[in-house]
Amino acid sequence: MTAEVRRPLPDDLLVVARRADQKDHRGTLTIYLGYAAGVGKTYTMLSNALQQRGEGVDVVIGYVETHGRPETDALAARLETVPGVAVEYQGLALREVDLDAIISRRPQVVLVDELAHTNAPGSRHAKRYEDVEELLYAGISVSTTVNIQHIESLNDAVSQITGIRVAETVPDTVFSGADEIRLIDLTPEELQGRLRAGKVYVRDMAEAAIQRFFSTGNLLALRQLALRYMASATDRQMMEQMRISAVSGPWPATERLVVGIRPGPPAEQMVRAAYRLATRFNADWVVFSLDVGGAEEWTTEEQAWQNEALETGRRLGGHIVHYRGEDVAEEVLRYARRNNVTMIMLGKPRGIDLLYSPVYRIVRESRGIDIFFYDLKGEGAPVSVRSQIPRLLTRDHVAGLALIAGVAGISVLLRNVVTPPALLAIQLLPVAVAALVFRRGAALFVAVLSIIVFDLFFVRPYYSLSVDDWGHFISFVGFVAVILVVTALVTRLRHLLPQIRRSTAEVEAVTGLSRDLAGAQTRQEVFDILARHMHGFGPGAFAVLVPGADGLQVGAGDAMFPLTEKEKVIAQWTYDNGEAAGRGTDTLSAGQGHYVPVRVHARVFCVLGFAFDMPERALTPGNKEIFLTMALLGALALGRVD
C-alpha cells in the first residue's frame, strides 16, 4: 500500500508527457478573470504586457477594447498593435481579430481581449475563443480577459443571481486547458465607486447600472462565485501536482469529505449526515460506494437501499463514486490519498462487527485524515450480537463444510485402497472448488479446515494433530498455498470482469450515440437516433416526445408509448421546467415513465421518455447519469442541425 501511494501512476505520468509535448508545439494561455466589468482585467493585462516587454518578450496587441477609459488607452498606446480586420455586416464595419496578420507577425505573446465575444458573420470562426485556439496551435501565446458570467457551467447560476441570461459563453474546456488563470479582484464598494466616478460607464448610466446589475447583492454573489471557481481551479491543479509528484497527502488546503456507504437502512441517513457535515465545513463531498461481491448478488431490498442513498447524494450535490474491489479499507484509502481527501465518514461498527470491520484499518492507516463515525438514528439503532452471528457463517461456508465432509468421508473409505498421492489429490478437491466458486474469505476458511482434516484423518498418527509423514503433509500445504494464490487471482478477475463489461457498455452507449449523431442532418434523424439508443437500457417502451399543436407527442420511438393524460402532464412539466421528472425522481414520481429534457442552456428541444418494464433495476444512479449525457449530446446535435 505504501509503495503504491508514493509512486506516480502511469496515467499521471502520461498526462505530464502529453502536456510537455503540447508546450513544445503550442502557445500558453493566460486568462484574466473578473466577476464584473470594471474590475481592471484589461488594465492589468496591459500592465503585465508592458512588464513582459521590458524583460525582452515580444508582445503585441491583437485586439483590446479600452471602452474609452483614459488610463487604459494610455497603456495600450505604448504597445505595438496588429490592426484588426474590418467585416461588413448590415451596413456596419465591425472590427475583428486579424488572425492571418498576427500569425504572419509571429509575436511571442498576443493580447486578445473579450474572450467570450461572438465574431461578426462571415468571420473565419464564430467565436473569439476559437480565434484564440488557432493562435495557440500556431505556437503563439495568448493573454485574454473574461468575466465569470461567461463560463458555460456557471451560466445558470449567474442567471439566477442577476436575473439576466448571458448569451455569450465560453466552454469550460477552454479554462481547464489554460496554463494560468489570474483572478482580478475588487471589492463591490470600490467597483461601485469607480462606476460613480465614470471610470466604467458614463456618469449618467452609473446609478441605473448600480440599481440593476451592479447592485451590492449581485456583486457580492458574483464575487463569491468567482472566488469559489478560482479556488476550485487551484485545487484541481494542486491535486494534479500531488499525483504527479506522488505526494500521499492530504494537503489541508481545502476540505474534501468522503462518506463510505454499503447497502442497508443507514445508507441514506449517512448521506444526509455527510451533506450536513460538508455544509458545516464548506467542503466538497463524495459518496463512495464499493461493491465487494457484485451488485448482482444483492437482494432487491439491498439494491433499493443503495440506489436511494446514491440518488439522495446526487440530488444534494454530492459526487457519486462507485467502485468494485476486494478490500474495502484498501479501496477507500487509495481513493482518499489520490484525491486529497481530508475527512472520511464511516458507519460506527457495533457488536461482533468490531472483530472484522474494515473501519479500524482505515482509522489506523489514514494518517492526516479526520475520521467521523455515524451512528444510526431512530428505529433499528440497537444491534444485538445474536443478530450478527449469521453473518459469520455464510452460504459459502456451509457449502464448504459440506464439501469437506463429503470428500473426507469418501477418503476414509478409500484410505486403505488407493495410494497416498491419489488420496492427497482427492482431499484437494474442496480447496480447488472453493478457489473457483467461493469468495476469498470462504475459500481461505475451506483451505485451513482442509489442512486440519487432512492432518487428523490421513496423516499418521491418525486422529491427532501431530505429524509422522511430513512429506505428505508439506506437499498438501504447498498445494493449498498454490490454490490460495489462484483463489486471489480468480476473485480479482470475478470482480474485474463485470466492471469491465459495465464500463464497456457505458462507454459504448455514449460513444456510439456521439458517432451516430455526428452524421445526422435533420431534426428527425436526431430523434430517430436517440430513440434507437434508448432501447439499449432494458425492456420497455421508449419515445422522444416533441412539442406539437396539442402538446407533447411521440416524435420517434415506440408508437405504443404509454402517453396517457397523466404521463402527458409529467412530460410537459419536464419540458416547461427543463428538469427530469417522473418515476425514479422526487418530482411527480407516481408516473409510469421517467422523463429527461433534451436541453442546452435555457432551450429545451424535446423530452426523452423511458417506460421500463422493471424500473427498479433500470433507473439506477449510473443509468440516470447516462440518460442526462444522452440528452445533452442530443441537444448539441439539434442545435447544430437547426
The residue with greater pLDDT, 163 or 4, is 163
The residue with greater pLDDT, 490 or 103, is 103
Q: What residue segments make up the domains of the chain, in order of their start?
A: 2-243, 256-382, 393-491, 519-641
**pLDDT at 97 > cutoff 60:** yes
What is the per-residue pLDDT for 154? 80
Of these ranges, 234-243, 261-270, 552-561, 611-620, the one predicted with the greatest mean pLDDT is 552-561
Q: Identify the band that residue 386 occupies on the pLDDT scale cut at 50, 70 and 90.
A: very low
What is the per-residue pLDDT for 539? 87
What is the per-residue pLDDT for 320? 82
For the segment 187-203, what is each residue's pLDDT rounded down to a tens digit?
Answer: 888 888 887 777 665 45
**pLDDT at 177 > cutoff 70:** yes
What is the per-residue pLDDT for 388? 45
| 373 close to 346: Cβ distance less than 8 angstroms | yes
CA distance readout (Å), 209 to 70, 100, 150, 300, 345: 21, 38, 19, 58, 47
**CB-based contacts of 491, cutoff 8 Å, min separation 6:** 326, 439, 440, 443
Q: Identify the band that residue 500 occupies on the pLDDT scale cut at 50, 70 and 90.
A: low
Architecture of the 2-243 domain: 3-Layer(aba) Sandwich (3.40)
The 3-state secondary structure of 135-191 reads HHHCCCEEEEEEEHHHEHHHHHHHHHHHCCCCCCCECHHHHHCCCEEEECCCCHHHH
Architecture of the 519-641 domain: 2-Layer Sandwich (3.30)
Which of 18-38 are b and which e, b meaning 16 or more Cβ less than 10 Å from the residue's Cβ?
Answer: eeeeeeeebbbbbbbbbbbbb
Three-state secondary-structure class, residue 110: strand
Eight-state DSSP code of residue 580: -
What is the per-residue pLDDT for 418? 74
The residue with greater pLDDT, 79 or 445, is 79
**Cα 458 to the center of its chain, rounded Å:** 56
The domain 256-382 belongs to what CATH superfamily?
HUPs (3.40.50.620)
**CB-based contacts of 55, cutoff 8 Å, min separation 6:** none
What is the per-residue pLDDT for 381? 44
- Mean pLDDT (the chain) is 78
CA dist., res. 209 & res. 231, Å (int): 28
The residue with greater pLDDT, 441 or 537, is 537
DSSP secondary structure of 320-387: EEEEE-S-HHHHHHHHHHHTT--EEEEEPP-GGGGGT-THHHHHHH-TT-EEEEE---STT----HHH
Q: What are phi and psi of 276, to 5 degrees?
A: -65, -40
DSSP secondary structure of 247-287: -----TTS-EEEEEE-SSTHHHHHHHHHHHHHHHHT-EEEE
Cis peptide before 250 (omega within 30 of 0): yes
Residues paired with residue 286 on neighbouring β-strands, in sequence order: 258, 319
User: Among 321-330, 335-344, 568-577, whose mean pLDDT is lowest?
Assistant: 321-330
Three-state secondary-structure class, residue 245: coil
**pLDDT at 423 > cutoff 50:** yes
Q: Identify the band that residue 601 occupies on the pLDDT scale cut at 50, 70 and 90.
A: low
Nearest partner of 621 among 301, 324, 289, 333, judged by Cα: 289
Q: What is the pTM of this model?
A: 0.48
For the segment 280-315, what is each residue's pLDDT rounded down to a tens digit?
Answer: 887 888 898 877 654 445 667 777 788 888 888 877
**pLDDT at 384 > cutoff 50:** no
What is the per-residue pLDDT for 23? 59
| 75 close to 46: Cβ distance less than 8 angstroms | yes
**pLDDT at 387 > cutoff 50:** no
